[in-house]
Every structure is written in C-alpha cells, then in structure tokens.
Amino acid sequence: MTDLFGDKSAIVTGAGSGVGRATALRLAEKGARVVCADIDVDQAKQTVRLVEGHGGTAVAVGTDVSREDQVEGMIGAAVEQYGRLDILVNNVGIPTPRLGTLLEDHTAEEFHRLVSVNLGGVFFGCKHAVRQFKKQGTGGSIVNTASVAGIVAWGGSVYGATKGAVLQLTRALAIEGAPHDIRVNAICPSGMPATGFMAAGGMDPEASAAPEFAERVAAQHPLGRALTAEDCAEAILFLASDRARNITGVSVPVDGGYVAR
C-alpha cells in the first residue's frame, strides 16, 4: 500500500493549503515524490516540511498557475528533480470575490482573474504535462479539481462557469490523450469549510473555521457530514493511481450526495 505510487513523480498545484496540501501529503505517504506548487511559496514550503516530517519526499516551487512561463517552469522543476513526470493534480482554484457576488456585480478584472486562474491554470498545466508525458512515451495521469459549481448553480455564476469549463476540458482532453495512455479525470467537491477557500472569498477566517459553520454546511448535504480536504485527497489519489487505469474523462462528485438530490 505504501508503494501505491512507487517512486512516481507528481505535481500538486495549490499545495500550500486545503485540498492541495492534503493531496501532497497522501501522495508522498503512498510513495510518490511530490512537487508542491503554490503562488504562496512559504505555504508550499510548510507542506514540504510536513511531508518530510512523515518520511516523504517533496520540494516546493513558487508558481502562479495563471502564468504559462511559470507553469512550464513548474513542470521543468519536476523533471529536473525527479527525472520525469507521471501525475499532475491541477488543484488551484479561487472563489467568487466577496462570496455571494451576483454576476452583474463582478468587475471585468474579477471576471478575467477567475478565468485565468481557474481555467487558464488548468489549461497551462494540462498543455505542458501532456507535452512531457508524450516526450516520455509512457502515459500519465492528470486530475483536475473542479467543483459541484460546474454541475449545478453553487458558489457564484462566473466561478461556476470556470468549473464547468474545467469539466469539459477534462472530457475532451481525455479523448485526445487516450491513444497515448494519458488519463484525465476530475473531482467535484462541494462546500468545504476549514480550508483557506472561504477566507479567500472574503469570509472571516475564524468564522470559516468555526464548528458552527461546519455544522451549517454539513446540514446542506444528504450524508450530513462536512466535507474535508482529506475526503477530496482520497478521490484524487484513486483517480491518479494505476487502480484507475481504465478510468478516463470522468468527474467524481465528492459532495456527500449534494448533486444527487
């Protein structure tokens, strides 16, 4: 079990917090060597220390996923460090600014930022990972973090549109990549308290970490449990691993039944 990933080389974007951090930790625990990429390199370094504290191997790389040159550099860093790339987890996502903002109240800058980080970041990651996978000639696995917001109306119209686009990109690239054994899948989390996401959307960080908030969120889900970053990491690990070798182009809701109602 510890060598589920052998010594595969993996990149996780947004690894400085929440789902990205949990995923980096689990991948490393299962044997992968991990590049922890984040725009906040200090947070990424903190994740590396946590990985190393558990006996794993990781390195931090400062990356703004909305910048193609930096994403190319991130892929290059994995190859330089570990000799190859096997897995890319495109996990970065930013929320609707001022959570609850209506479509007509988004500024043009806010619209462009959401699109360039949430969709552009996935596009650049996929583009340069696929080029690297094809160069290696031994396949590869990409997992994109989308959202239930890409399936139903949740979390804001522009944010949701970026996540819907990530799901379509996932399906289309899965078909392009299949002849090269490049698998592309996605997860769709629902509202997750206790990551940095709500605070990034302007919610008071203490309020977003409070048990009452988690209880309120849990009550919106059929299973009645608040979603955690670790729940998402488990689904990402499965999709990234060879256990899912015949699964591509799918999106897995990690949502306590939220979209099944």
Q: How far is the CB of 62 from ligand NAD (least distance, A)?
A: 8
Nearer to ligand NAD, 40 or 181 (CB): 40
Sites for ligand NAD among residues 149-188 (CB under 6 A): none
Rounded Cα gap, residues 101 and 177, in angstroms: 37
Rounded Cα gap, residues 97 and 114, in angstroms: 9
Q: Are 254 and 187 spatial neighbours (Cβ–Cβ below 8 Å)?
A: yes
Instruction: Answer yes or no: 258 catalytic.
Output: no
Nearer to ligand NAD, 51 or 117 (CB): 117
Per the listing, tokens 């799918």 go with: 250
Which of the residues 5, 159, 197, 258 is marked catalytic? 159
Backbone angles phi, psi at 199, to 5 degrees: -65, -35
Binding mask 43-82 for ligand NAD (x = CB under 6 A): x-------------------xxxx----------------
Rounded Cα gap, residues 233 and 223, in angstroms: 18
Applying CB under 6 A, among 117, 129, 142, 252 the residue interacting with ligand NAD is: 117
Nearest alpha carbon to residue 148 among 191, 194, 97, 198 = 191
| Helix, strand, coil content of the chain in percent (nearest 5) | 50, 15, 35
Q: How far apart are the first and last CA of the chain?
A: 35
Sites for ligand NAD among residues 4-23 (CB under 6 A): 13-14, 16-20
Give the binding-site size for ligand NAD (rule: CB under 6 A).
30
Q: Kindly list the residues in this chain that would bind ligand NAD in the complex (CB under 6 A).
A: 13-14, 16-20, 38-40, 43, 63-66, 91-94, 117, 145, 147, 189, 191-192, 195-197, 200, 229
Residues belonging to the active site: 159
